[in-house]
Structure 1
């Protein structure tokens, strides 16, 4: 079974203290007026529902049986009619008022509490997403997409259910239990003691259940995230699954994850279905005891050492209200379920919110305005989480408009070098500067807007071609979009599509070829018009003809811009002003193409292999790959 301990934010989730209190403090208090209005309406509606049985019992005794006087608690005697006919119609009116107030109160409660709960859910979901967006790439390197989606969707919905249903039902139970208990004690304290004797037992039973079910709910939430991760991975990699004929293998992995969730759910349900009938049994015993003792009292006098009288009207009221008493107490199990589910979800939501970003903008950060594009790496070293050094003592400078090629075996640190420039990570030692400013001292938005990045696998959103080119420059005109596409050698193929720039590209651009996606990514960078351009193996996965088109567009785009080219095919950096050769995270060679060939080192070896002058790489290069 996959464990929640494997998730990147698990350690922060474990530190979340009283998540539901925090939920209400941070998100409920700003919407307190809706919460208060909902609970007032709930209080009025539930209290009004107790009026008809009380009036009915009084009417039976005073009007129909002629026993005692017509009186109601909290109602002055001067307000009550003196005649039996007047008392009858007054009772009818009160019963109708009770039902009307119950209906109106329930309606207002539903509207206001749903506005409160769904408003909180909306704020929690968007704040959690915003917090996730603020995290640096170190988080996303280890993320489980399905786990994060589970937090944003399922866990946020569980919190909404708790705020909407659990709090309201909890208040309902309090009102009904206290209200009924008060009325029963007012009518006959001795019989009320019989009715209420099992309430403490119910409280202890509920406490035991909560202690036992809490860890089970945490496991359920974890298994939901694990299943979502497995489903997301299988769907995202469906092409690989089909081309390798591994449908049965993936089905088995989903089956295992679903089985884990099934088992954890069954553990919760088994305990719940022990608790719920138990509560219903205890509540039923209260009703049965009330009916037994009250019935014996009526036809043979006070039983079991009780004293005093019990009227038919009082007994009818007891029967009605005790039945009302049973139902909310039997619903206590649902409240416990909602509470425990929400508590586990709250830990996950706030655990994600509490993950601290490592890349933090300084309070006095300056805007990198109109940069020239000078870049300097000053003795830069880098490692992930104080682990093994990925880069060691990288030191070089680039003048505005120059092109730098980064080459070396897989894992040498080429992509990491440019990610430090984008400040996707922060250096461990040394500094990266743009126009003399340390990238840690400028605003992140101004830094990244000055840099255009094209990866070997560009991402396209599910939208139109125009929307994807315009991404990041949302106010760009249609003409500017077309000009950017022309500069990227994309206008021709876009124009030949049935809907042109309004063609939808599908999720991740699946309706387009790799070369077409690449050219749209370049068009997006053209529209951005950055001072610095990064091309991360942008032609490594396309055919030769497409490479020529992409290379031509990249040459045009990189003109007069500071450009970093990460190259798998060395021909793409042959004309670079400087080529840096990285090996094991260090710059081992630097110079122009001709200078590096004269050195006859790492670069020259790779060049001769790609040129066909060597049949294979030397062993030390093979090992590094």
Structure 2
């Protein structure tokens, strides 16, 4: 069932195209035309290959008729020198064509991938929330690759084949129109069979790619879940599952290779049939001496035939390649044409240095029209305030953070920093002054220094060391063989959970934002590490306006104000002890698991009441 489902998804992604979309094709060719010099050289190379290729058989025919049969050594020598010249020209033109085609193709792929990557960087998080990561990677990898192949191998190859066929037909017609008609008599059948072969081959290769994708998915899943697999002794079951998909992939690959391999014998068969007809009729013409056909002309035709049917078969294949690539190009351009829902206004200004006053004024938001996630949310945080966001999953805590960072725009009301509506300032200037620490820290491939300095790549080593000391990370780094130059494995796998959190704290501290957004980690760590993390968080929040999605009691206790959210609304607000004394929703959430260290709730309420009386 998994195989069928995966294949269905793949087939939907690789849906057939029944024709060539001229608009898409022109847009694709525009990538090539950005390098007009190389395109010009490619055209000259194509003409050179066609012209020199057309001359070679004709020269051999002349050598036979004017040199060998006529007994003229000078004519024979002249033909030999001429043949050597055109052969060198043909080889040189072919080499230039191959190199230029490769250069054009790689330059096109580079431009398209770079454009697509930049587009990915600029799209809002709302776009990514609706997409599957694997498909987005597929656009960048396989789709762009197929589009590049369609243009270089398809479009340029199609032009080269047409040029070669045109040159051969002209040469054959000039030598003997009768033999030309005999030669091309079976060409339509060859073209039809070529199109059939191309369609069958495309289906076979699509199935092969689908199975390859499934096999890769099974391998990736097995590796990522190896701990669970071994814990439940599922090694043999997984091996059997892999054996099944591996066999299916082997069969699909064999079918694809078999179809592709059958094309060459077909071309050889048609070449042999046409050669036999030319020898039969051509020989008769030579012996009859009534049509002007000579032995040299018949020889030239035999050589032309060897070059004639290959391009015909390639025409069908290249046309089919271009058709198949239309779906890929449409998917790529669909992303490139996607509106950046969060974009800077033309009149947007750079956010000046801020003190850190943050206000939400009657803010409402909905991810989907008609389904509000936030309703009439109002918040006022003065510089240095600590705002703790508390609520059940789906209450709207993360949405508030997303709006503050302008990953989304409010659908009602406004979000302001120091009186500036964040929709009126540039995103870059906003996010340079609003720091973010995620619940699950994301570390990039590179050194520890590069990860800490991610928000400020120009930071010096001394600055990086200073922030590492502040979050109690420096001593650990010093114990590593390469210190701050230690390379981080994928997503920080070589570091513990607590160490990754400390790196993310150091990264935020080095960026020195005036407003800090922090989603507390829920991962369990040992007591000593927990204390280090708490101290590092405290160092990070000092002097900054902080918004924290709180999971620890200590964080809530120290908050200037606790906002309790329920179904997108702020239902309670106040300090920790005040809210406990009210015995409302916050009190219930606290009982369900917000408390840490086994603190007695009633004692907390009593202390809160005592403090209020004083």
TM-score, normalization by structure 2: 0.87
From 382, 385, 402, the equivalent of 1:399 is 382
| Partners of 1:4 and 1:346 in 2: CA distance | 21
C-alpha contact 1:283 1:330 (8 A) present in aligned 2 = no
| Partners of 1:284 and 1:148 in 2: CA distance | 48
C-alpha contact 2:67 2:75 (8 A) present in aligned 1 = yes
Question: Which residue is 1:78 aligned to?
Answer: none
| Unpaired segments ≥5 residues, structure 2 | 603-614
| Partners of 1:474 and 1:509 in 2: CA distance | 19
Q: Cα–Cα, structure 1 residues 372 and 484, in superposed 2: closer, same or farther, change >3 Å?
A: same
| Partners of 1:530 and 1:360 in 2: CA distance | 22
| Partners of 2:490 and 2:367 in 1: CA distance | 31
C-alpha contact 1:150 1:224 (8 A) present in aligned 2 = no
From 441, 453, 464, the equivalent of 1:481 is 464
Instruction: Verify: 1:169 aligned to 2:157, yes or no.
Output: yes
Question: Which residue is 2:60 aligned to?
Answer: 56
Question: Which residue is 2:46 aligned to?
Answer: 42
CA offset digits 1:350-371 (Å, max 9, x no partner): 2332333322222221111212
Larger mean CA deviation between 543-552 and 116-125 belongs to 543-552
Q: CA deviation at 1:130?
A: 1.3
Larger mean CA deviation between 37-46 and 476-485 belongs to 37-46
Q: CA deviation at 1:238?
A: 4.8
Instruction: Verify: 1:458 aligned to 2:446, yes or no.
Output: no
Q: Cα–Cα, structure 1 residues 353 and 536, in superposed 2: closer, same or farther, change >3 Å?
A: same
C-alpha contact 2:521 2:551 (8 A) present in aligned 1 = no
Instruction: Verify: 1:557 aligned to 2:540, yes or no.
Output: yes
Question: Which residue is 2:569 aligned to?
Answer: 586
Q: Cα–Cα, structure 1 residues 487 and 436, in superposed 2: closer, same or farther, change >3 Å?
A: same
Q: CA deviation at 1:383?
A: 2.4
| Partners of 2:459 and 2:404 in 1: CA distance | 26
Instruction: Verify: 1:435 aligned to 2:423, yes or no.
Output: no
Q: Cα–Cα, structure 1 residues 529 and 225, in superposed 2: closer, same or farther, change >3 Å?
A: farther
CA offset digits 1:266-288 (Å, max 9, x no partner): 77667656766555544443233
C-alpha contact 2:67 2:74 (8 A) present in aligned 1 = no
Q: Cα–Cα, structure 1 residues 17 and 89, in superposed 2: closer, same or farther, change >3 Å?
A: closer
From 83, 94, 107, the equivalent of 1:106 is 94
TM-score, normalization by structure 1: 0.85
| Partners of 1:449 and 1:592 in 2: CA distance | 30
CA offset digits 1:440-460 (Å, max 9, x no partner): 221111111111111121011
Partner SS, residue 512 of structure 1? coil
CA offset digits 1:541-593 (Å, max 9, x no partner): 33332121111111122111100111122332111110001122221111111
Q: CA deviation at 1:518?
A: 0.4
Q: Cα–Cα, structure 1 residues 234 and 123, in superposed 2: closer, same or farther, change >3 Å?
A: farther
Partner SS, residue 564 of structure 1? strand
C-alpha contact 1:470 1:527 (8 A) present in aligned 2 = yes
| Partners of 1:43 and 1:173 in 2: CA distance | 11
| Unpaired segments ≥5 residues, structure 1 | 68-83, 616-625
C-alpha contact 1:158 1:342 (8 A) present in aligned 2 = yes
C-alpha contact 1:359 1:426 (8 A) present in aligned 2 = yes
Q: CA deviation at 1:194?
A: 0.5
| Partners of 1:425 and 1:249 in 2: CA distance | 45
Pairwise CA RMSD of aligned residues?
Answer: 3.4
CA offset digits 1:90-132 (Å, max 9, x no partner): 1111011011101211222222222111100111111111111
Larger mean CA deviation between 187-196 and 242-251 belongs to 242-251
| Partners of 2:494 and 2:22 in 1: CA distance | 47
From 422, 426, 433, the equivalent of 2:405 is 422
Q: CA deviation at 1:242?
A: 4.9
Q: Cα–Cα, structure 1 residues 210 and 326, in superposed 2: closer, same or farther, change >3 Å?
A: closer
Instruction: Verify: 1:566 aligned to 2:553, yes or no.
Output: no
| Partners of 2:107 and 2:384 in 1: CA distance | 51
Question: 1:6-405 maps to which residues of 2 (within 5 A)?
Answer: 18=22, 21-66=25-70, 84-206=72-194, 235-236=223-224, 238-239=226-227, 241-243=229-231, 278=266, 280-299=268-287, 301=288, 308-332=291-315, 334-336=317-319, 338-386=321-369, 388-405=371-388
| Partners of 2:267 and 2:437 in 1: CA distance | 62
Q: Cα–Cα, structure 1 residues 20 and 236, in superposed 2: closer, same or farther, change >3 Å?
A: farther
| Partners of 1:378 and 1:259 in 2: CA distance | 61
